[in-house]
Structure 1
Amino acid sequence: MRYAQSLVLDGVSFQLKEHHDFKWLNDFGEVFCVFDRQDSGNISFGVQKGNVKRFIKYAGAQTINYAGDLKEAIKKLKNAKDVYKELEHPYLVKLVDHLELREGFVLVFEWFDGLNIQKNVELNSACQRFKKLPLELRLQSLSTIFEFHVHVEKNNYVAIDFYDGSILYDFKQNITKICDVDLYQVKPFYNQVGRLWGSSRFMSPEEFTIASEIDGRSNVFNMGAMAFALVGGALDRSYDTWEAGRELYQVAKKAVEKNRNNRYASVIDFYTEWKFYVEEYGTDPPQKV
């Protein structure tokens, strides 16, 4: 059993399973924050050099919550480089550089000054703040998410491991960005492991079923689950917890049908109908009856 070791970079402390040399980070500037608790095998840093901030994602260190093979984590991050390039979009955090090191691999992103809205039990969490925003702003955020995944679909990819932890929100400018598409896959893609990576709150039944194809209908489920997370009751998908009117509720409900054949055939079809009702009713949906 390996015990946690504390490290300090530019006054910021974090933990790993064993010591690791991060001298290469000096070229990017001063570290101002560290994200060391992911279970992906990556560790990430916020760094600043002059007026320029960057987000650095690195695979090659023995992180606290990763139980897998370090070589596999490095391989996945290398593969992610091409995903970010091929899915480049204004709503996706921008990859600006990559670096191969003797002990690992680095992706360098533009810094986006947003907070992760992953569900959190803390009352003052970004998730709680987001759920208190006016409906109009939350619907705008959903449109950003849906439009990006239309782009994903048009580029012959499927979303894997998409959940609320993949979303950043800038509360000052009310801007949404997608931040984690490392595991998105080129179609056709089949489930070869049983339970795929991700949060079960957003995963379609086929993402738990070996040999199932993960396709547009699977991503429709992901989008519907996200709609319930941001303007509804999350896993409580009853109309009583829904805030955005019956028409949008019916669209979201169809999206999360357990029987994939009862869902929309594609994210484009889903978003087309969703957008129709948003544009028809705006942020003043018909009252519940």
Structure 2
Amino acid sequence: MTDLLSLTRTDRTAEDLVLSAGEILARYDHLTQDSGNVSWLVRTQQGDLFVKTAGTDAPPPPGGAVPYLDHAGRVGLLRSAVELARSVDHPALARLRTVIETADGPALVYDRAPGELIGVPSVQRGDPTSPYRRFATASAELRLAVLDQLLDAHVALESAGWVAGDLYDGCLMVDLASGRLTLIDLDTYRCGASTNDMGRMFGASRFMAPEEFELGAPLDARTTVFTLGRLVHHFGTGLTEDLSQFCGGEDAADVIARATRPARSERFGTVGELAAAWSAARLSSG
């Protein structure tokens, strides 16, 4: 069997490489997501690994969703993900083990993240057995522990210059037994402040800041603050969106209300400021 962790380059395609490495536990392609990327979960002699690629330089099969970007664009985002992983060391970030240059682009090899993916297709959000519902209705203690990790990881990311993009519940892997969070698929994060060059940016509209819909608008730490606030609001209220039901208490609810104000100038200026206010509110609530 091929040892993925010992390679840095191969003339083989990514799929051939992964198939030779062990037992395929899952394959993610146009049937499960619309990015155009192709990924695998593979059981190897070195442990369970997640391998992410930009797919092939070809149109998706008939019936599949149209990818957001062409192959070159997807490769560019994967190289940005590598830069992010190598610039920030935090326990809530997926562990990148190696990058293998294959015949169809880079293959990013990660340790398998523990737990379950919280984001599910919209038709499954009402299912009480889904990870989405089970996390949203978990104990306040567990939800707050996960949200603490989410904010702390983004303080570290901000310190390295990263601004969130396409951050939503599909980036959250949570072990619902231990409360451990792993963040995945941060490919569209940008290093440094920028401007909206797309109009409607990548992302789930439920969590996106107003400026992510406005061509030419600034994208910076206040954008990250808004999205983090929306995630905390959504799950901290048990999906009700009613801050009077927020699991962290009234002071923490006030912090989240400020983080998610539509006017950028009324939000916290940095993730660090948001996290400090959140920590103080959590302490005040006992």
Give the alignment's TM-score, normalised by structure 1: 0.85
Q: Report how far residue 173 of structure 1 moved.
A: 2.5
State how far apart, in whole Å, the 1-side matches of 2:137 and 2:155 are.
27
Letter in 2 for 1:112: A
| Aligned pairs for 1:235-250 within 5 A | 237-250=241-254
1:272 to 258, 269, 276: 276
1:117-161 Cα offsets, whole Å, 9 max, x none, are 115233311011112211011001000000000111111110111
TM-score computed with the length of structure 2 as normaliser: 0.86
The aligned counterpart of 2:86 is 85
For 1:96 and 1:82, the matched residues in 2 are separated by 13
Moved more, 57-66 or 174-183: 57-66
| Deviation by residue 1:185-206 (Cα, 9 ceiling, x = unmatched) | 1112111111110111111111
Structure 2 contact 98–109 (Cα < 8 Å) conserved: yes
CA distance in 2, matches of 1:145, 1:158: 14
Q: 2:227 aligns with which of 222, 230, 235?
A: 222
Matched, 1:60 2:64: no
Identity value in percent: 28
The number of residues matched between the two structures is: 262
Distance verdict in 2 for CA 1:99–1:21, change over 3 Å: closer
Whole-angstrom CA distance in 2 between matches of 1:51 and 1:150: 32
> Which residue number in structure 2 is paired with residue 47 of structure 1?
42
* Structure 1 residue corresponding to 2:133, chosen from 128, 135, 149: 128
Question: What is the CA-CA distance between 1:51 and the residue it aligns to?
Answer: 5.7
Quick one: structure 1 residues 21 and 253, their matched pair in 2 at CA, closer, same or farther if it must change by over 3 Å?
Answer: closer
Distance, in Å, in 2 between the alignment partners of 1:79 and 1:146 is 21
Q: How does 1:154-169 map to 2 (within 5 A)?
A: 154-169=159-174
Instruction: Provide the C-alpha distance between the structure 1 equivalents of 2:284 and 2:14, rounded to a whole number of angstroms.
Output: 56
Q: Deviations over 1:36-93 (max 9, x none)?
A: 2221211211101136110011112355334342232223223322122112321100
| CA distance, structure 2, for counterparts of residue 231 and residue 80 of structure 1 | 28
Question: More displaced, 171-180 or 246-255?
Answer: 171-180
Of structures 1 and 2, the one with the larger relative CO (CA 8 A, separation 6+) is: 2
Distance 1:268 1:45 in 2: 35
Structure 1: gaps of 5 or more residues = 1-19, 283-289
Is 1:25 aligned with 2:25? no
Residue equivalent to 1:106: 107
* 1:21/1:54 CA distance change after superposition, 3 Å: closer
Residues 55 and 110, structure 1, Cα contact 8 Å, conserved in 2: yes
Equivalent pair of 2:25/2:42 in contact (CA under 8 Å): yes
Q: 1:263 to 1:210 in 2, by over 3 A?
A: same
What are the residue-to-residue correspondences of 1:203-222 with 2, within 5 Å? 203-222=208-227
Question: AA paired with 1:271?
Answer: A
Distance 2:225 2:76 in 1: 28
Match among 250, 253, 256 for residue 257 of structure 2: 253
